[in-house]
């Protein structure tokens, strides 16, 4: 029997799928809809001790699409919650009372001074919520100055001095992430949330010659590799190892969540997928992760949490200890030639385009170094695979 339940910094939930702070967590109505759909927790949209006035254009989104109109990333320009603070606080208390078995964390724009931190944290704690997430990445004015290590340490220390609630620190993938994460731990952080949205411009309007909306915060599948690298860098740092991590950034499928957990994450925060597919996407996340764990013989998430982190290598520095060669399945090959063009123009000229006078794509093993580019550009899944030829190469060398 697979058990998806989590105990993250003392906060218990039925599953590791929590909504990240953002548009899907802006108020009681949305969060209760999410909890009815089956989400294990949610991070209330960012509150601000010194809120700026909201306006009708505060939220605006752009998307990066794939060729099939699949959303690869969402880019948004948005303020912290522009609702009345008293309303937010009242609704947080109401939701927690109605849903005591769900994790409810409140996102807070990193405060600029100790007094304002003390004041607003007292109000947040009074709601009965499970914890606070100090937002150093997505909140208005949070970058770049407020992302400095000294600022992170100070604000985290103020938070821990003002409340007994667990404090998560949310960081953007900017500059020296490890240094800022160490500062958060030194300040007393109970966990890290990695990563905040990535600064991005979705495109440029060539008719008006203007960037499409300016610089915004991007999330979604396109930023997942950045988030994975961030989680791995923290999990592998000896000074921070063991500090719990809430993964955020590109979690769209159960596999995405499983990958973050395998690198050491305790929970998976989701925003862009909920915005794209709605709250019911949690059904696929939970059922997919359950099926994976059952097939692999894992009963609890801890059975595979962090197992991939131990195998992390720096691909820029590792020595190749295996001999890999590409192999093209002729029964699957559609003769499109993309592998040949990619190899000729950007790799090692290791794919013949003609054999015995006929159009046929065959790997020249003598030139192939196993870079994998041909397999990546091939439109047919599993048509090109890397085959381990290490033993044959060693035998030939003897």
The reported pLDDT for the residue numbered 317 is 55
Kindly tell me if the per-residue pLDDT of 50 is higher than 90: no
- Provide CATH code, domain 6-311: 3.20.20.70
Which one has a higher pLDDT value, 17 or 398?
17
Report pLDDT for 146. Answer: 46
**pLDDT score at 79:** 59
pLDDT at 171: 94
Domain spanning 324-397, CATH class: alpha beta
What pLDDT is attached to residue 64? 83
CA 265 to chain centre: 10
Mean pLDDT confidence for 121-137: 95
Predicted confidence at residue 57, as pLDDT, reads 44
Q: Count how many Cα atoms sit within 13 Å of the Cα of residue 162 in the half-sphere of its side chain.
A: 24
pLDDT at 55 over 80: no
Residue 141, pLDDT above cutoff 50: no
pLDDT for the residue numbered 77? 63
Residues labelled catalytic? 138
Identify which of 328, 365, 369, 327 has the alpha carbon closest to the alpha carbon of residue 348. 369
Q: What is the mean pLDDT of residues 24-42?
A: 97
pTM tops 0.95, yes or no? no
pLDDT at position 56: 42
Task: Indicate if the pLDDT at residue 63 is higher than 60.
Answer: yes
Q: What is the DSSP string of 124-174?
A: HHTTT-SEEEEESSSSTT-SSGGGSHHHHHHHHHHHHHH--S-EEEEE-S-
- Total number of residues shown for the chain: 398
Domain map (residue ranges) of the chain: 6-311, 324-397
Higher pLDDT, 211 or 161: 161
Q: Please give the average per-residue pLDDT across 246-255, as a whole number.
A: 97
Q: Which has the minimum average pLDDT: 67-71, 115-119, 209-213, 386-390?
A: 209-213
Task: Calculate the CA 90 to chain-centre distance.
Answer: 30
Over residues 242-248, the mean pLDDT reads 96
Q: Over the stretch 312-337, which tens digit does the pLDDT of each residue have?
A: 876 665 556 789 999 999 999 999 99
Backbone angles phi, psi at 145, to 5 degrees: -60, -45
What is the mean predicted confidence (pLDDT) over 66-77?
A: 84
CA 108 – CA 315 distance, rounded (Å): 37
Question: What percent of the chain has a predicted confidence (pLDDT) above 90?
Answer: 74
């Amino acid at each position: 029997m697979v058990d998806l339940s989590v105990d993250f910094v003392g906060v218990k939930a039925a599953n590791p799928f929590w909504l990240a702070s953002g548009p899907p967590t802006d108020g009681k109505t949305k969060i209760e809809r999410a909890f009815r759909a089956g989400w294990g927790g949610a991070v209330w949209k960012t509150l601000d001790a010194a809120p700026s006035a909201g306006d009708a254009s505060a939220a605006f989104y752009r998307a990066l699409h794939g060729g099939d109109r699949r959303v690869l990333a969402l880019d948004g320009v948005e303020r912290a919650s522009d609702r009345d603070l008293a309303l937010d606080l009242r609704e947080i208390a109401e939701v927690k009372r109605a849903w005591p078995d769900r994790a409810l964390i409140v996102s807070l724009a990193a405060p600029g001074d100790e007094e304002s931190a003390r004041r607003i944290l007292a109000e947040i704690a009074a709601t009965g919520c499970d914890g606070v997430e100090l937002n150093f990445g997505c909140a208005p004015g949070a970058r770049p100055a407020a992302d400095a290590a000294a600022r992170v340490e100070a604000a985290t220390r103020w938070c821990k001095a003002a409340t007994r609630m667990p404090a998560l620190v949310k960081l953007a993938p900017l500059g020296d992430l490890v240094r800022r994460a160490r500062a958060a731990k030194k300040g007393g952080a109970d966990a890290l949330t990695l990563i905040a949205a990535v600064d991005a411009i979705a495109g440029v309007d060539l008719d008006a010659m203007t960037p499409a909306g300016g610089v915004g915060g991007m999330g979604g599948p396109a930023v997942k590799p950045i988030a994975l690298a961030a989680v791995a860098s923290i999990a592998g740092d000896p000074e921070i190892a063991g500090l719990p991590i809430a993964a955020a950034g590109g979690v769209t499928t159960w596999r995405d969540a499983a990958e973050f957990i395998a690198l050491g994450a305790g929970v998976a925060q989701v925003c862009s997928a909920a915005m794209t597919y709605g709250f019911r996407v949690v059904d696929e996340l939970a059922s997919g992760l359950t099926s994976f764990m059952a097939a692999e013989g894992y009963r609890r998430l801890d059975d595979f949490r962090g197992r991939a982190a131990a195998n992390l290598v720096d691909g820029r520095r590792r020595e190749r200890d295996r001999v890999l060669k590409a192999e093209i399945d002729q029964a699957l090959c559609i003769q499109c030639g993309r592998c040949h063009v990619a190899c000729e123009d950007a790799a090692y000229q290791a794919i013949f385009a003609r054999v015995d006078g006929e159009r046929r794509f065959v790997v020249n093993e003598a030139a192939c170094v196993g870079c994998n580019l041909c397999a990546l550009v091939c439109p047919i899944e599993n048509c090109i695979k890397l085959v381990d030829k290490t033993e044959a190469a060693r035998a030939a060398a003897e």
